[in-house]
Chain A
Amino acid sequence: MIRRNKLSMPANIILLVCFAVVGIIFMLPLLWMLFSSLKTEAAIMGAPGVFFPDDYTLENFHILLTQIPFFRFLVNSFIFAGGVTLSSLLLDSLAGYAFAKLKFKGSSVCFLIVLISMMIPFQITMIPLYLFMNKMHVINTFAGLILPRLTNAFGIYFMRQSFLSVPNDLIDAGRIDGLSEFGIFFRIIIPVVVSSLSTLAVFHFMYNWNDFLWPMLMTSSQNMQTLPVGLALFQGEHTMQHGPMFAGAVLSILPILIIFLCAQKTFIKGIALSGIKG
């Protein structure tokens, strides 16, 4: 399957040089952010045409961590994205398994409902959803953030597809051994679909980690905001200082970037799912 490199040496070098130029231009926003975060406020405002800092300083990071509850945002993001991911992996795969292997009375109607709800964008339901959450008094709580995302229609569909390719013999073997259906699911089936689960885990985690509109609607105080919401609202209200914002952007991208560089394959697969889901 691997296509060997059939290009001539000059063609290789020309492409490499072209991509180096395009790559640098493409990365300019992130590089500029990184170097600006290490500049003094005076340098950012006074000499904005200078790309690299004259003297490097960590002052912006210090201001960021003392003026904004940055760690609080980070923890909130982890609880929100992590909570959604854990619960969704469990419920998505349970339902997906039922739709693939344990068809019950009305399961085709239920699956149709799942497919339909996959096509409904969140932006359409956000107003009634907000009112509903308001009525249940869970606005500005983790419960409010996580509840609507306990399961995910796309995740159910995706897991169903994975379970369809699991041979029925495995299930029968479990039944002969006297395992309950849940026992079969957790002890025999789940280990077979671990790679699908890890792809879905990356998808859920990244989607919610990066999400903006829902956590913005759901949170009303700074100590409940997630990273993107906290930083975006802070920059909207306080436009005077730029340095700490650069520092915040750097610190919020860094953890995900490190994980990405360690597990690129799972990452690219998991995030590619979000293109299907939209």
Chain B
Amino acid sequence: MKNRTLSSRYKRAGALMALPSMAVISLFIIIPIIYSLYMSLHDWNIMYNIKDFIGFDNYKEVFSDDRFWNALKNTVIYTVAYVPILVIASLLLAAFINEKFIGSGFFKSLFFIPAITSMAIIAIIFRFLLDGDIGYVSIMLRRMGFNVPDFLRDPSTAMGAVVLTSAWRWIGFYMVIFLSGFNSIPDSLYEAAEIDGAGKLRQFFSISIPLLMPTISFALITNLINSFQVFDPVYVMTKGGPMFSTEVLVYYVYYMGFNVFDMGYASSMAFILFVIILLFTLLQLKGFTKSETEGEYA
């Protein structure tokens, strides 16, 4: 009898402890996501005070909107360029740093520095750095004889500039993630390979890569998801231009929602984006539950 009252006391304390967090999460995440579906079924403009139910008309309109398809295309281009560059470059850096040469600790910290800074601030710096008139990179490349365009004002190069800016910000970060992956590989494997006469390159492809596969797939999927949410560098560096060449999905959602105030239309695009990201997340979830049972993540 006494035991039961005690355990109900513990339960009450537990419920009380979880209550504030559950309230915040329900109020600011769960209800808004449901509400965004509700909004997407309306012609909803806060500028003109319109709120009419129109069913799936927004979605129909989105699917015949060239600008939406362009934004989706740009998001895919960004992702396809950004994810491999980031993962391969940070993996290579980690592989070399992991050799623990003299000064490797210093370089580890050095490459990590961009990861502590704000993407918006980085984007400001790169916007100047790549400027056709005063940008050091453009000027140096021209001095070396390359006939470079004004990167951010040329539709064919602007997206590349945004991709490189993001990659620069995150390389050191994923290098650290990969280094912790390298750390979990037992030295004995490399020693055995050395005795068998395997060179460094062979060791990298036959030992490191296979054993790093969980970390690599984690980095791939996380960045796939993150790429579809890219906004900051686009907003600061190009505002979606020139000629819509860098307008990505989140930027278009932002533009329709907060510049045109067509919030129903913006919500329907946000919801489509949600479905896309949900599919990627399910991929991640597979790895997540697997690592949960193994007691380790990343």
Contact = CB atoms under 8 A, between A and B. Distances in A.
Given A30-B113, A113-B25, A120-B33, A127 B15 contact: no
Contacts of B114: 30
A246 B225 CA distance: 32
Nearest to B281: A119
B136 interface: yes
Interface stretch (B150-158, B204-212, B266-274): B266-274
Nearest to B101: A15
A151 B133 CA distance: 46
B134 A272 contact: no
B33 to A, nearest CB: 5
Given A123-B270, A128-B35, A278-B222, A103 B14 contact: yes
B139 interface: yes
A234 B187 CA distance: 52
Given A98-B14, A153-B25, A232 B100 contact: no
Given A94-B18, A113-B22, A113-B26, A125 B118 contact: no
A271 B173 contact: yes
Interface string B120-157: 11111111110001111101100100000000000000
Interface string B261-298: 00100110011011001100100010000000000011
A114 interface: yes
A231 B121 contact: yes
B244 interface: no
Interface in B148-186: 168, 173-174, 176-177, 180
B88 to A, nearest CB: 15
A249 B121 contact: yes
A276 B274 contact: no
Contacts of A229: 120
B96 A15 contact: yes
Contact of B134 (A4, A48, A180, A267): A48
B235 interface: yes
Given A148-B28, A276-B297, A104 B14 contact: yes
Contact of A127 (B29, B173, B257): B257
B199 interface: no
Interface centre among B118, B239, B270 (most CB of A within 10 A): B118
Nearest to A182: B13
A57 interface: no
Contact of A19 (B35, B103, B128, B226): B103
Contact of A98 (B17, B29, B139): B17
B272 to A, nearest CB: 10
Contacts of B112: 268
Contacts of B274: 120-121, 124
Contact of B173 (A91, A182, A275): A275
Given A5-B101, A32-B136, A124 B36 contact: yes
B136 A51 contact: yes
Interface stretch (A61-69, A193-201, A256-264): A256-264
Contacts of B13: 98, 102, 180-182
A240 interface: no
B30 interface: yes
A49 B140 contact: yes
Contact of B263 (A5, A101, A127): A127
B32 interface: yes
Interface string B217-231: 001001001100101
B17 A97 contact: yes
Interface of B: 9-15, 17-18, 20-22, 24-26, 28-33, 35-36, 39, 46, 96, 99-104, 107, 109-129, 133-137, 139-140, 143, 168, 173-174, 176-177, 180, 187, 219, 222, 225-226, 229, 231-232, 235-236, 239, 250, 253-254, 257-258, 263, 266-267, 270-271, 273-274, 277-278, 281, 285, 297-298
